[in-house]
Amino acid sequence: MAEIEKEPDEYTRLLKYIDYEAQRAKRGGDEGGDEDEEKEWRRVWYAPWKKVAVEEEGKRKVPPRWLETDMLQGLPDDEITNRRNRFGYNELESPRENPILKFLGYFKGPVLYVMELAVILAAGLRDWIDFGVIIGILALNAFVGWYQEKQAGDIVEQLKAGIAMKATVVRNGEEQVIEAREIVPGDIVVVEEGQTVPADGKILAAYDDKDRSRAKSILDKREASTGNSRSQSQDRDSGETARDEKKRGEEEGEEGEDKKEDKGPSVFSCDQSAITGESLAVDKYIGDTIYYTTGGKRGKVYMVVTETAKQSFVGRTASLVTGANDQGHFQKVMNSIGTTLLVLHVLISTPADNNLLVYSLVLLIIGVPVGLPCVTTTTLAVGAAFLARRKAIVQKLTAIESLAGVDILCTDKTGTLTANQLSVHEPWAAEGVDLNWMLAAAVLASSHNIKALDPIDKVTVVTLKDYPKAREMLQGGWTTHSFKPFDPVSKRITAEVEKEGKRWTVAKGAPNAILKLANASQELQESYRQRTQEFAKRGFRTLGVACQEQGGEWQILGLLPMFDPPRSDTAQTIAEAGNLGVRVKMLTGDAVAIAIETCKQLALGTNVYDSQRLMTGGMSGSDVHDFVESADGFAEVAPEHKYQVVEMLQNRGHLTAMTGDGVNDAPSLKKADCGIAVEGASDAARSAADVVFLDEGLSTIITSIKVARQIFHRMKAYIVYRIALCLHLEIYLTLSMIILNETIRADLIVFIALFADLGTIAIAYDNAPHARAPVEWQLPKIWIISTILGILLAGATWILRGTLFLSSGGVIQNWGSVQEILFLEVALTENWLIFVTRGAGTWPSWQLVAAIGAIDILASIFALFGWLAGSQPHNGHTDIVTVVRVWAFSFGVTVVLALVYFILNSIPWLDNIGRQKRGVKDAKHEDFISNLRRVTLVHERGGNGHEDVFRFQPE
């Protein structure tokens, strides 16, 4: 039908309409017409005569007839299933991977491809033992990585299930409380103050006014006054955002007060700050759209769901920032290490004799750290599960590595640094006014709906617990005749109350607005203003209180200074962040004075500035970067300011973490090296963030940084260890092939590789210390230390091999297998190396000691019984004395390695090599980017056949 309406010629439209109606008649009239009209069709490749419906996810339109649900009856059960099958559950889902494809993904990567090539080579040589063991290593790597990640994911899902949103819907004529994810388009939902709107929807009527005909009459009048039919209103493009609606409302408001009357009374108000940035609640009328994740502030209404989460405005915004799947920094490091080892392997694996294939197989096995993906994934997954139990959900494992290196944390104030609980601080009463009466009047001018009190009303009421006389004044006899909530025009709350036949009008609100009500003396005005300024300088949010008795003169009663106090643990937490090398920058929407007062109480720097200086300060690009880098925080920030601050800090080389909770924070959370959605964050913010906190406050962030650095320490210890192992065998075996034309049997080499990876999987559970400064990979340092350790290991193996040329037989003493002795020495020295690279400061965990011990015992049994030794004297058996000597020799080698490792880490120039330069200034680049942003591309449409013109124009 939509295509027919696009035809410019009316006769063509008429002819196509006749064909359209004929086709509908063949399909059975109107049945399913609306739904069929929305669908596109394609022929399937396996059956060209068959057509299937094609609907692009996120662009499905709800048929208009679905929204004509009876307000008091709701949807029947059979209709709900049909609608859910088409639109899915009402939730912002992360893309779910096919478990089979996910498992197969653990066989991909440059390191694993070489091991798969080794499998093919072993099969070609008919070396079925190696073939089976290598396949076992690959399968073990995949299974452990998959299982550990799944285990962490299960913990995350359990925690998410515990915070599922609930909603009240009308179904089968009854109100039911269900999980919000069960909602479908066309559902009738009851939304009231204090609740979160569970989907995009249109207001049908106030809850107390169940006469739908009256609500329909108001809606019809409103649409008639704007020149729109009801059908046009229903078919309004769902792409209209909250900002568009606000702009449209402002344009309508300019046409006069008559327009407002056509809307009828405001039946609901909601907080749209997470979407539009508006700090004040927005009034909503019958027929208005209310948006998913916004919070109800006043009223209770019936709403028909027009769009579920994924198709909602918030859902479309979230999809813009969750679709990217960039390769993380950690993955780049792993690929770099693996590729370097492969190149090194290709360069040295070139012996030119008839043993080429065997040698190639051996070098393929030893030259590739097949366990590298398994161990690192396990370490990250175990750490993620640990953090999840502490209410920090890691949504992307590689974010742990980013968090370990963070050196700047940009955090909001309210609810993170502070308790998000306003408290009244030393109220002031005007001269001659009883302080208790002033407080009682403030409570009378508050909402009395204790189920969903506004934060300011709540703190006003709760304050009376410390003023018993004020509570006595409110006991019995008071009647509220009218209550007017906060009005952004008058900037006050007003209530008309009565007690014992005497009427009072009480008001509280902005100090200046309250002062204008009364004809106060000059002296009182001066005292009132002075107190207000004092409170403002200290960062207090101040409310004035006044009353009017029996319609007489307004009387100023006093001031209520309010402040959101810091959390009890915040100051200590910030101090600990400083000790960890993390600088905290406050980004808050509050005024500069409030931000500075909070900083003083938390021992933060007080260089806090108005965020407008970021946009309109007139500074050059490099100066703005200097300004952002040196500032301790910014006040009155909007979401775009957060994005700008994060970007500038990253330009200076800082690894930046950022906290956020709103829909508009999603881009900056995605931009940050580690985006953190704080407790109570919107679904869009959670979807965009790398880490989601389910607990309040900043202490969880510090815990997460410490744990991340412990995880990083484990991974770095393993990587140094594993590179050294690869170089050890590559150096020794390459030289032995060239000099002696011998090698350790491929069967034993496979078990050396298997033992090295099996034992060190337990590094994921090791007792690692956390660094006192942001960590970095420092790959040049890793390669230098690993290479030296690998050379020393190779030298030790050559020493042992050299003793076997002595007339006495050396270590063997003429009773033992050369193959098994070399196998045991390599296995022991390599296994014990992990105790060296893990460093000092903590004892190794029992899991790591047990794993290494079990493998060492197994390797000794191999040597004693000559398993897989091939054709060797005495069937490859080795006596117990020889095994003990190899253990003693290997222990001596480990001691030498520990001394060398300690010395290498004590060299200052080596400790600083490869460190990322943070805070580096590039004035030319920064000035260029800044100037480029100030240039606007202007499009002028050409006329008289001329082409369109595009030109640059400064802002």
CATH of the domain at 837: 1.20.1110.10
Lowest mean pLDDT among 123-137, 140-154, 636-650: 140-154
CB 585 within 8 A of CB 408: yes
Do 860 and 762 share a structural domain? yes
Q: How far apart are CA 899 and CA 696, in angstroms?
A: 45
Domain carrying residue 526: 424-563
The secondary structure of 621-674 as a DSSP string is HHHHHHHHHH-SEEES--HHHHHHHHHHHHHTT--EEEEE-SGGGHHHHHHSSE
Do 652 and 595 share a structural domain? yes
Q: How far apart are CA 808 and CA 818, in angstroms?
A: 14
Q: Which of 127, 200, 412, 673 is catalytic?
A: 412
Identify whether 253 is part of a domain: no
Q: Which two tokens stand for residue 341?
A: 């080892």
- What are 832-863's pLDDT values in tens digits? 999 999 988 899 999 999 999 999 999 999 98
Residue 304 β-bridge partners:
188, 202
Identify whether 637 is part of a domain: yes
Tokens 């039919």 found at: 229
Q: Which of 376-385, 695-704, 898-907 tops mean pLDDT?
A: 898-907
Do 764 and 831 share a structural domain? yes
Do 789 and 711 share a structural domain? yes
Rg (CA), the chain: 36
- What are 767-817's pLDDT values in tens digits? 999 999 999 888 899 999 999 999 999 999 999 998 888 877 677 765 678
CB 148 within 8 A of CB 377: yes
- What are 510-548's pLDDT values in tens digits? 898 899 888 888 999 999 999 988 887 777 888 999 999
Say what the pLDDT of residue 819 is. Answer: 87
- Can you tell me the mean pLDDT for 430-458? 83
Higher pLDDT, 935 or 637: 637
- What are 398-443's pLDDT values in tens digits? 788 889 999 999 988 877 788 777 788 889 999 889 999 999 999 9
User: Which of 519, 546, 563 is the last residue in one of the domains?
Assistant: 563
Question: Taking all residues of the chain, what is their mean pLDDT, rounded to a whole number?
Answer: 77
Closest CA to 559 of 425, 429, 424, 422: 429
Q: Which two tokens stand for residue 105?
A: 């993904």
- Can you tell me the mean pLDDT for 376-393? 82
3-class DSSP state for residue 146?
Answer: helix
841 burial (CB, 10 Å; 0-12 / 13-18 / 19+) is exposed
- Predicted confidence (pLDDT) at residue 291 exceeds the cutoff of 80: yes
CB 192 within 8 A of CB 207: yes
Do 572 and 559 share a structural domain? no
- Can you tell me the mean pLDDT for 213-226? 57
φ, ψ (nearest 5 deg) of residue 402: -65, -40
435, 479, 503, 803, 894 from 499: Cα distances, Å: 19, 6, 7, 107, 89
Say what the pLDDT of residue 890 is. Answer: 95
Split into its structural domains, the chain has a count of 3
- Predicted confidence (pLDDT) at residue 84 exceeds the cutoff of 80: yes
We report the CATH number of the domain holding residue 524 as 3.40.1110.10
- Predicted confidence (pLDDT) at residue 3 exceeds the cutoff of 60: no
Q: How far apart are CA 738 and CA 187, in angstroms?
A: 78
- Predicted confidence (pLDDT) at residue 208 exceeds the cutoff of 50: yes
Say what the pLDDT of residue 358 is. Answer: 64
Do 573 and 608 share a structural domain? yes
Identify whether 516 is part of a domain: yes
- What are 683-707's pLDDT values in tens digits? 667 777 888 888 877 788 888 999 9
pLDDT band at 372 (very low <50, low <70, confident <90, very high): confident
Do 576 and 517 share a structural domain? no
Angle subtended at Cα 360 by Cα 355 and Cα 365, rounded to the nearest 5 degrees = 135
Do 854 and 746 share a structural domain? yes
Closest CA to 252 of 222, 291, 289, 277: 222
- Can you tell me the mean pLDDT for 567-588? 89
Say what the pLDDT of residue 300 is. Answer: 87
Identify whether 856 is part of a domain: yes
- What are 311-340's pLDDT values in tens digits? 887 777 665 554 444 445 566 676 677 677
Higher pLDDT, 920 or 549: 549
Helices marked H in 496-638:
511-517, 522-537, 570-579, 592-602, 612-616, 621-630
pLDDT band at 556 (very low <50, low <70, confident <90, very high): very high
Say what the pLDDT of residue 31 is. Answer: 41
Q: Which two tokens stand for residue 333?
A: 């490091």
183, 478, 556, 863 from 441: Cα distances, Å: 43, 11, 11, 90
Do 413 and 349 share a structural domain? no
Do 408 and 491 share a structural domain? no
- Predicted confidence (pLDDT) at residue 30 exceeds the cutoff of 50: no
Q: How far apart are CA 789 and CA 776, in angstroms?
A: 21
- In sequence order, what are the residues at sequence separation of 6 or more whose Cβ sits closer than 8 angstroms to the Cβ of residue 818? 801, 804, 812, 872
Centre a 10 Å sphere on the Cβ of residue 555 and count the other Cβ atoms it contains: 19
Say what the pLDDT of residue 766 is. Answer: 92
Return the exposure string of 175-186: e unless at least 16 CB atoms fall within 10 Å of the residue's CB, then b: eeeeebbbbbbb
Identify whether 539 is part of a domain: yes
Identify whether 905 is part of a domain: yes
φ, ψ (nearest 5 deg) of residue 187: -65, 145
- In sequence order, what are the residues at sequence separation of 6 or more whose Cβ sits closer than 8 angstroms to the Cβ of residue 904? 784, 785, 788, 910
Q: How far apart are CA 783 and CA 522, in angstroms?
A: 78
We report the CATH number of the domain holding residue 591 as 3.40.50.1000
Q: How far apart are CA 633 and CA 417, in angstroms?
A: 13
Do 785 and 852 share a structural domain? yes
User: Which of 528, 563, 598 is the last residue in one of the domains?
Assistant: 563
Identify whether 40 is part of a domain: no
Do 791 and 890 share a structural domain? yes
Cα of 105 vs its chain's centroid, Å: 24
Say what the pLDDT of residue 206 is. Answer: 86
Angle subtended at Cα 142 by Cα 137 and Cα 143, rounded to the nearest 5 degrees = 100
Lowest mean pLDDT among 27-31, 81-85, 213-217: 27-31
Closest CA to 112 of 379, 380, 369, 377: 369
- The strand order across the sheet containing 608-610 reads 392-394, 691-693, 674-677, 656-660, 408-411, 583-587, 633-635, 608-610
Closest CA to 274 of 303, 302, 243: 243
Say what the pLDDT of residue 228 is. Answer: 45
Identify whether 709 is part of a domain: yes
User: Which of 563, 592, 616 is the last residue in one of the domains?
Assistant: 563
Higher pLDDT, 262 or 378: 378
Closest CA to 395 of 688, 708, 161: 688
3-class DSSP state for residue 484?
Answer: strand
The percent of residues in the chain predicted with pLDDT above 90, rounded, is: 21
Q: How far apart are CA 806 and CA 793, in angstroms?
A: 21
- Predicted confidence (pLDDT) at residue 25 exceeds the cutoff of 90: no
- Can you tell me the mean pLDDT for 490-513? 89
412 among known catalytic residues: yes
3-class DSSP state for residue 93?
Answer: coil
Closest CA to 150 of 328, 332, 397: 397
- What are 654-687's pLDDT values in tens digits? 999 998 876 667 778 888 989 998 887 766 677 7
- What are 148-185's pLDDT values in tens digits? 666 656 655 665 555 567 889 999 888 998 888 899 99
pTM recorded for the entire structure? 0.70
